[in-house]
């Protein structure tokens, strides 16, 4: 299926590792150009060099998105390099474990790391997105719907992202800008693998989580998240806006009485 992304420009935050890297690579596979904004340089520069060798444009922009001037610079650099922005993917963030006991200042800093730059990036890219009748894709988390415990800042940020998605979809409909959210749950990434490896029995720990995922009893892949993001950005998704898309194998919303193999209750009798 031709997604109509050849020559389009995607600006992606946190596009160097994990889910973000999968999103970057999938846009490039569809013929789009990518501007990738990341704080760390090693992975971003390596991606840029890899695709430059293939004759593709993957511009790396170093920036700390907690700094509003870096958000503005990222947008301007993208426009200077490519002349347009067709899709903005807000992906960067970290589950930083800021809890109720950490205090208001730590909470505000967590919002800065996980929520405020979503608003800032859209604000600074808005004129370009209006010109292209573009798309905004926000990456949220199942934590916004389920809670997790001990991570008030991250949970509040992800809930805020879902709320802004609905607000912006309404606000920008007259400009033909589509706004959607993609929600990962248990997604297998190098970071998740590293966390699992810290357990005393990594194989059992992984299996315990997979048993709670109804569809296929497996983790979602980063590629499956990326595929949804790119589809929602494409010409094949021109009448979808304001939606919260859970790509999670049914993990978030399906009844756990049925999904936990060890605790399944037979209600058919």
Identify the bridge partners of residue 138 per DSSP, sorted by sequence position: 90, 181
Q: What pLDDT is stored for residue 259 in this prediction?
A: 63
Note if 154 is an active site residue.
Answer: yes
Q: What pLDDT is stored for residue 191 in this prediction?
A: 86
If phi over 0 gives left and psi between -120 and 50 gives alpha, with beta otherwise, what is residue 62?
beta
Mean pLDDT of the chain: 95
Please, which pLDDT band fits residue 195 given cuts at 50, 70 and 90?
confident
Residue 223, CB-side half-sphere exposure with 13 Å CA sphere? 1
Please, which pLDDT band fits residue 126 given cuts at 50, 70 and 90?
very high
How much of the chain exceeds pLDDT 90, in percent? 93
Examine the pLDDT at 267 and tell me if it is beyond 60. no
The continuous run of DSSP H or E covering 76 comes out as helix 68-82
Q: Closest Cα to residue 225, out of 82, 2, 16, 18?
A: 18
Examine the pLDDT at 116 and tell me if it is beyond 60. yes
Per-residue pLDDT tens over the stretch 202-225: 999 999 999 999 999 999 999 999
Catalytic residue among 51, 118, 124, 154: 154
- The domain locations on the chain are 9-186+222-254
Examine the pLDDT at 2 and tell me if it is beyond 60. yes
Task: Tell me how far apart the alpha carbons of residues 131 and 84 are, in angstroms, rounded to a whole number.
Answer: 8
Q: What pLDDT is stored for residue 204 in this prediction?
A: 94
Per-residue pLDDT tens over the stretch 66-94: 999 999 999 999 999 999 999 999 999 99
Per-residue pLDDT tens over the stretch 246-264: 999 999 999 877 766 555 5
Q: What pLDDT is stored for residue 255 in this prediction?
A: 84
Examine the pLDDT at 42 and tell me if it is beyond 70. yes
Q: What pLDDT is stored for residue 261 in this prediction?
A: 58
Right CATH number for 9-186+222-254 from 3.40.50.720, 3.40.718.10, 3.30.1490.20, 3.30.1360.20? 3.40.50.720
């Amino acid at each position: 299926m031709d997604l109509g992304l050849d020559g389009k420009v995607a600006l992606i935050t946190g596009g160097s590792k994990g889910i973000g890297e999968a999103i970057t690579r999938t846009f490039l596979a569809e013929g789009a150009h990518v501007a990738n904004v990341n704080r760390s340089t090693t992975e971003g520069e390596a991606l840029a060099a890899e695709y430059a060798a293939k004759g593709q444009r993957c511009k790396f922009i170093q920036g700390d998105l907690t700094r509003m001037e870096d958000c503005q610079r990222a947008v301007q650099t993208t426009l200077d390099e490519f002349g347009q922005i067709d899709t903005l993917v807000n992906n960067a963030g970290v589950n930083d474990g800021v809890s109720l006991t950490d205090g208001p200042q730590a909470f505000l800093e967590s919002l800065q790391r996980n929520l405020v730059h979503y608003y800032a990036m859209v604000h600074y890219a808005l004129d370009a997105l209006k010109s292209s009748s573009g798309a905004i894709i926000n990456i949220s988390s199942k934590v916004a719907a389920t809670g997790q415990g001990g991570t008030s800042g991250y949970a509040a940020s992800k809930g805020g992202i879902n709320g802004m998605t609905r607000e912006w979809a309404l606000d920008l409909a007259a400009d033909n800008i589509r706004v959607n959210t993609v929600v990962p749950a248990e997604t297998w990434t190098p970071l998740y693998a590293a966390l699992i490896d810290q357990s005393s029995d990594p194989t059992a720990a992984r299996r315990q989580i997979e048993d709670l995922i109804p569809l296929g009893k497996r983790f979602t892949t980063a590629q499956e998240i990326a595929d949804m993001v790119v589809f929602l950005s494409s010409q094949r998704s021109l009448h979808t806006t304001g939606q919260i898309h859970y790509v999670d194998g049914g993990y978030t919303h399906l009844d756990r009485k049925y999904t936990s193999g060890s605790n399944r209750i037979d209600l058919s009798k």
